[in-house]
Chain A
Amino acid sequence: MRPLPLLLLVIALAANGEDVQEPAGFWTGQINSAVPETIAGGKVIHAQELEQLLKQEKPLLVNVSNEPKRPPGMSPDAPWLPLPQEVIPGSVWLPGAGMADIAPDTDALFRNHLSQASGRDPDHPVVIYCHERCWLSWNAAKRAIGYGHRHVYWFPEGIEGWHAAGNTTVVAKPWSAATQDVE
């Protein structure tokens, strides 16, 4: 019986073979690649804990997946039909918030949204996610921590992990200054 736990350990280590360390600043490498297991100044959250948190504390949810843009030069006949953006219900979708070099407008939008929607409470929980194996959410979580939020959760499994845990999503449009004016 003894070899079994050892075997499981070996399998677990092999499955998690990519040992990724947190970079000192924002991640500037390939966006879709292996991510670390931690985020300094924040907490990593997984699907079941997130389900609990949603019931108990009404955290702010921000999906920071990037938005595909039709490149110039494509044939006018070629269809351009990006998949609708799925989000965890109650989320805003803020494309660009996870870029290492964030556009100043996006930076302001992200900062203001977190500030206003939390009622200027830096202890209000904030959950940041995008896709699995996607650094955008790690960067955006780090950015939110930098804004002074003290309960930032990073959900590295993202939309894929949320679906895999049997949860539903809804379709969102990008959050923008115009959207905020509607409030």
Chain B
Amino acid sequence: MGMTRTMSLAAACLCGLVCMHIARADDDAAVRNERWTELQRAIFPGRTISDGAGVIQLDAPPRALDAALVPFTITLPGQIQIKTVYLVIDNNPGPLAGRFTFGAAADPRTLKVRMRVNTYTNVHAVAEDSAGKLYAVEKFVKASGGCSAPAGSNDEESMRNLGEMKLKLLNEFVPGKAVQAQLMIRHPNFNGMQMDQLTRMYTPALFIRTIDITYADQPVLRIESDISLSTDPVITFGFTPREQGRLKVEVRDSKEQSFLREFPVPGPALPPTS
């Protein structure tokens, strides 16, 4: 008797905790929209966001092969001058995956990054123009487990070569003409949710907070990121080189470590400066 009463009391208490709202399927559009409304309030409080069709385009695979390395391409056709792009992975625990601010030397037409995706989610790319107006587009991505997935065999190499960088021009170098560049950074970007396969312990978080790219001392791109950014990030961006100049990249991580590299454009990389 006593047991029955205890159990029903427990059930009543539990119900008080859990019956606040009823959700249906994960892929229910209403649930997804409610989440986006909540995120807009948290990330862009009090601001209106317009439909971004024609202003910003987001491309992502509908079903990602590797949830820890989901490629996103953001395209800005250029009718409206955009100063900042926000990438929001709605259902990641830290949903603001990255903020990308373009500088004077940028060619902000195409931006590519790889991110971790934790579960089936909407992803929003939000463009902010120079007047502070916001425009958003949306893609649904099926991927799961990206946040707890161990990066695997590369971790040790990433740690050994922490902060190592490579830069590759993806088009022919023509002074005065915009070029796409691919930047590769060695960094494990541990998010604190990955487990070491040998020690069975969670690997402490260590992730990139900012990447500042300048060309001939003119700002190109500032990236603010955190735990959604993939291991060994690869970032593709555009800038307009002159006859000669140096692209400088400064990376800072969550342990306040800073890594600086300079790349003469065109030309081979210089040895690291510190």
Contact = CB atoms under 8 A, between A and B. Distances in A.
A54 interface: no
Nearest to A183: B10
Interface in B1-40: 3, 6-7, 9-11, 13-14, 17-27, 35, 38-39
Given A160-B26, A170-B23, A83 B10 contact: no
A168 to B, nearest CB: 5
B145 A117 contact: no
Interface stretch (B55-63, B91-99, B177-185, B237-245): B91-99
Nearest to B43: A79
Nearest to B27: A163
Contact of B147 (A68, A75, A163): A68
Nearest to A166: B25
A166 to B, nearest CB: 8
Contacts of A179: 13, 17
Interface of B: 3, 6-7, 9-11, 13-14, 17-27, 35, 38-39, 42-43, 67, 91, 93-96, 118-119, 144-145, 147-150, 191-193, 195, 197, 200-201, 205-207, 209, 224, 226-227, 253-255
Given A78-B226, A160-B26, A170-B22, 9 more contacts: A32-B148, A68-B93, A71-B193, A74-B226, A79-B42, A84-B23, A159-B26, A171-B20, A183-B6
B251 to A, nearest CB: 14
Interface string A47-66: 00000000000000000001
Contact of B95 (A73, A79, A100, A159): A79
Contacts of A100: 200
B39 A72 contact: no
Main secondary structure of the interface of A (DSSP, over half): loop
A70 B94 contact: yes
Contacts of B20: 170-171
Contacts of A173: 17-18
Interface string A87-100: 10110100000001
Interface string A139-170: 00000000000000000000110011000111
Given A30-B150, A117-B7, A69 B119 contact: no
14 contacts: A32-B149, A66-B148, A69-B192, A72-B192, A73-B205, A73-B254, A75-B209, A79-B94, A101-B200, A163-B24, A171-B21, A172-B17, A173-B18, A183-B13
